[in-house]
Structure 1
Amino acid sequence: MNRIFTWAFLLIFGFGVATATASSVDIMPVKSNSSTLIVSIPFQDDIDIRVSPNPANDYFAVTSNINYSKIQLFNIIGKPLKTYRVSADNNYQLTDVPGGIYILRFMDSNNQVIKTIKLYKKN
């Protein structure tokens, strides 16, 4: 579905000619009156971020094949609750939040969302 949306967006808004590879959609540069636009968009399927245990009790651990700079924790209605900086052991505490369903948003150094994962916390 993401690939179809990406292709449709590129063709509708005329950012260039898209070509697909196994790991990304590459946009061929298109000359405009003022500049050249070159973009490469990674597919989210290639990003492997895992959270365990899920459901969690007091903490969650993250394993990932990519670098991320922070994790944002949101409640189910989208209210931001916490921001975690990358820890050396990749363990993050949940002792101060009640049981429920949460959203983890993994961000890169440019504050772009890399991946979003649903996290369940036990009471």
Structure 2
Amino acid sequence: MNRFLLIVSSLFFSFTGFSQSQATYSVTFTSNWSEVTHPHPTGNFPSNAHWSKLVGATHNNQVIFLEMGGLASPGVEDIAELGSNGVFFSEVNDAINAEYANSIIDGDALNTPEGQIVIDEVITTDDFPMLTLLSMIAPSPDWMIAANSIPLLDTNGDWKTQIDINLYPYDAGTDSGTDYASPNMNTDPQEPISSLQGVAPFSNEIMGSFSITLLEVLGVQDNIELQTTLTPNPAQDRVLVSTRGSIQVVEIFNALGAQVASYKGSNSNSEELDIRDLPSGIYLVRVTSEGNSIVKRLVKR
């Protein structure tokens, strides 16, 4: 019995391969920070206004790197106050080791207040379908823009094709300075991360926006498998094979891996198979549809 199960498992994995879905996105940050959009109360808009590197992580819902109303981690504090990323990257690496995250995002800086930062490729999988991004508003006491745990999958489990997010200034709650060039004033006790929208020197205008665009999805076997069915199962005389695309061929293999039946599709997304001549037992059914193959287990009574 154990040998039989081992053979079935080997066949299944040799047919299906790696089934995880992998998505590639581009990320564009467009700044809207200037004396025109965010006029300084005394006209002292910083001459050296710039953005620190745009950094972040792809991760799952088991970790939160920052959130409105929560306390900034040491890594987030360093980004907001200094534009320094080393401690934050260590926090992400800890999450990677715990299997809560799968990659560090290390984008460029922007040496002017207006302009764009473009990250050409952010690659993640459906095990880590969330994206966190942040950058320091520089110079500043502890101000930043951030987007926390952006969901990349929709409610159907499909990768979102486009995500646009307006960004507003955040106070990290670690320094009590009130202007761009305020001297260091450590906030003790530390305060929660809060919005600075409409708080001087910021207006109610956005500070910028993220445009997150899906470029490619690879290894979509999981989605195909969920939409491929054998009914009834167990079956005795006939079984209906249904999938999302036109079926090209259906092949049936016994427990030893030998092909015992093959049916050519009729350009339909469902085919009824006559299995009366098959002995009772467990079979593997390989369905090929529009170039993709999925293997399903069938019990013949």
TM-score by length of 2: 0.28
Aligned residue number for residue 36 of structure 1? none
CA RMSD of aligned residues (A): 3.0
Q: Residue 93 in 1 paired to residue 274 in 2?
A: yes
Residues 36-88 of structure 1, C-alpha deviations (whole Å, 9 max, x = no match): xxx74242221101100100001100222222200110001211111111246
Deviation per CA, 1:22-44: give whole Å up to 9, x if none: 447xxxxxxxxxxxxxx742422
Q: 1:43 aligns with which of 211, 215, 220?
A: 220
Which structure's residues are more often strand, by fraction?
1
Aligned-partner residue type, residue 271 of structure 2: N
8 Å contact kept, 2:238–2:272: yes
Query: How many percent identity over aligned positions?
Result: 25
Contact 2:283–2:298 at 8 Å: present in 1 too? yes
- Which has the larger Rg? 2
Structural mapping, 1:81-120, within 5 Å:
81-87=260-266, 90-108=271-289, 110=291, 112-113=292-293, 115-120=294-299
Give ranges in structure 1 of 5+ residues lacking alignment. 8-15, 25-38
CA-to-partner distance for each residue in 1:98-122, whole Å, 9 max, x for gaps? 1100000011355x52x10000000
State the alpha-carbon separation in 2 of the partners of residues 40 and 61 from structure 1: 29
In structure 2, stretches of 5+ residues that fail to align are 1-17, 24-120, 126-151, 160-215
Aligned to 1:60: 239
Higher relative contact order (CA 8 A, sep 6+): 2
